[in-house]
Structure 1
Amino acid sequence: MGTEQPFSGRLRLSSTLRMWGHTVGRDNEDAMRLREARMDVAAAYAPLPWLFLAATLPLQAREVRDVSLARERGWGVGDVEVTAKAFLFQDKAFSADHLFSVLVGVKLPTAPELRGEDGTLLNLDTQLGSGSVDPLAGVAYQHFRGSWSFLASATGFLPTRGIQGFRAGASVRTTLAAQYQPANRWAVRLGFDGRLEAAADINGEKEENGGGFLGYASPDVLFSPATDVVLAAGVRVPFLNMLRGRVSSTPIAMMSVAYDL
């Protein structure tokens, strides 16, 4: 949906490609490595100048490899997310310097259960969805000052129990970012993204690895080759890992495109 306030009737189409991975456990003992490529296809519409409605469909490809080098692969549609963003405060009717908004939404269990050739369910980490209905809510503040803009946001997720008795831990994801736009066609942005989460569990038994805090440094470059088109590329570099157990995350590479109608 972006962070700026929309005009009534605005339609935004966008797609974001991310590549990431992590390793859980000890090398040469019980390590499990996950790698994923994910493309989110999204549409957002503003029926009113203070309201944005959006839906996001993820297309995912995953590979899970354990210490024995056995592999599982899964690909297909993930869990759809629908959200609504309402702008509750702006200091001016036009070209506001201060914006405050709230976000509510839900992630729906639209991903199919993946099975092997023998009909058995694939590993939980290979599955593309959680099989649960997960509500979310958040707040955001944005400030504009000349060529600069600043964003602070926090979004909470409260997962329910889903596939194979799995329940992800409740989490809060935060963003602090500053963007500098010296010209109409391009800008640079530097942010700090954080994720604080409780440990996941399977049928009430907590997982040994995971839960805690993970912080990312998030530089981006944005470019507008034509009116109403924005391209972005960046990386999320984990630099503060306070997760329980043995969890090692890779950087997240990201590319996106957005088109406003």
Structure 2
Amino acid sequence: MKTGQQRTWLSFVQRVLRAVFPALLLSGLTAPVLAAPITFNTALPVARGEGIFRAQFKYLTASDDGPGNRDLTVGMVPLVGVYGLTEKWALFGIFPYLDKELEVNTPSGRRTRDVSGLGDTTLLARYTVFQQDRPGQTFRIAPFVGIETPTGKDNENDSLGRLPQPLQLGSGSWDPLLGVVTTWQTLERQVDAALSYKANTEANDFEFGDVARFDLSYQHRLWPRKLGPGVPAFLYGVLESNLIWQDQNEVGGQKDSDSGGTTLYLAPGIQWVTKRTVLESAVQLPLIQDLKGNALENDFIWTLSFRLNF
């Protein structure tokens, strides 16, 4: 790992621990929780009048082989709040803290550009249109709709001038999204699938490409193999996939030839589920990256997550 990436990693982890650790101490106040996907939030189960708090730590590296020889590292802490408004309606808020660092070749040599702070907030509403419960299993279908709001700064500068728009904390635009999620759950396993589309709009003479994605998660109880009284916790193996397509960005009304494309991730993971909390982790590995021009290619995305009900 490059020295600059090491500095980013260590400083970011320190900030995460200071911000998130106090919340972990509240876990003794929570109600029972269930397994759920790690790499997407829309399938989080929540009962009427209850809430969910999820704190995630995500670490991403990406690079390209273009003349700039760019190396990008991103640390992210999405804080997710969910509330069961009724038996069918659930409300979501996703508040990301970002730390971005880009190393790039310039005429004056290798330079580092970085920024950190609050990113754009996403607000969602999910409605369960179908639910079928049988002994030991349940099946649900729930459409959702939401909007990504421009709460992150979108005009950051450094000694080289204005940061490029993809490196900014926020987009500056209001971006609607919609989708549908399904869940099938038994006593031993759970399958979640989500299909979504986000329509990005223009701001600062820049428009990110629209994003469509299909997420799939399978969770299987590894321990205990047999259920019985007094079991304090459960261990789940998790396997997820994320198929993500993004249209090309537009700068000044013109397509950016070095942006957009399709990526397929495979994400093995593990979950430790107690009566009160969930501790989980997964690594998203790109199996396919069919990208345009010299668009940045992701190396991996690591997620560490803590969840509690209240």
Q: Considering the TM-score relative to the shorter chain, is it more than 0.5? A: yes
**After alignment, is 116-125 or 41-50 more displaced?**
116-125
Q: Does 1:210 align with 2:250?
A: no
Residue number among 289, 294, 297 corresponding to 1:241 in the alignment:
289
Match of 2:247 among 198, 219, 231: 198
In the TM superposition, what whole-angstrom CA distance separates every residue of 1:154-204 from its partner, at most 9, and x where no partner exists? 110000012x31111111111122110133421011011110121111121
Q: Which position in structure 2 is the counterpart of 1:230? A: 278
Task: Determine the C-alpha separation between the residues in 2 that align with 1:242 and 1:259.
Answer: 37
Letter matched to residue 134 of structure 1: D
SS of 1:125's equivalent? helix
Higher mean Cα deviation, 30-39 or 81-90? 30-39
State which drifts further: 197-206 or 89-98: 89-98
Alignment of 1:44 onto 2:92: no
Take 2:183 and 2:261, find their aligned partners in 1: how far apart are those partners?
A: 27
Superposed, 1:70-149 pairs within 5 Å as 70-92=111-133, 96-116=137-157, 120-149=161-190
Q: Report the TM-score when normalising by structure 2.
A: 0.78
Identity %: 19
Q: Distance in 1 between matches of 2:247 and 2:87?
A: 36
Instruction: Find the residue that maps to 2:157 and give its secondary structure.
Output: coil
CA distance in 2, matches of 1:188, 1:76: 33
Instruction: Give the letter for the 1:243 counterpart.
Output: L
Partner SS for 1:92: strand
1:260 aligns with 2:298: no
Q: Which runs of 5+ in 1 are unaligned?
A: none
Q: Which has the higher helix share?
A: 2
1:90-128 deviation digits (Å, cap 9, x = unpaired): 112886521101111000001123433569432223211
Instruction: Out of 173-182 and 186-195, give the one that drifted further.
Output: 173-182
> Contact 2:73–2:100 (CA<8 Å) still a contact in 1?
yes
Change (3 A) 1:84 1:45: same
Q: Per the alignment, in what secondary structure is the counterpart of residue 251 of structure 1?
A: strand
The residue type paired with residue 209 of structure 1 is D
Structure 2: state its 5+ residue gaps. 1-40, 225-232
Equivalents in 1 of 2:212, 2:104: separation in Å?
29
Contact 1:106 1:133 in 2 (8 A): yes
Deviations 1:23-81 (A, max 9, x none): 2452xx23222211000112111110111101111111111111241111100111011
Amino acid at match of 1:238: P
Instruction: Give the letter for the 2:218 counterpart.
Output: A
One-letter code aligned to 1:60? L
Q: Secondary structure at the match of 1:250?
A: strand
Alignment pair present for 1:161 and 2:214: no
Checking the alignment, whether the CA contact within 8 Å between 1:5 and 1:87 is kept in structure 2 is no
Report the CA distance between 1:145 and its aligned residue. Answer: 3.5
Distance 1:157 1:2 in 2: 14
Using the size of structure 1 for normalisation, the TM-score is 0.92
CA contact (8 A) 2:243 2:265 kept: yes
**1:110-151: CA deviations, max 9, x gaps?**
112343356943222321111110000001111123411112
Q: Using a 3 Å threshold, how does the CA distance of structure 1 residues 117 and 18 change in structure 2: closer, same or farther?
A: closer
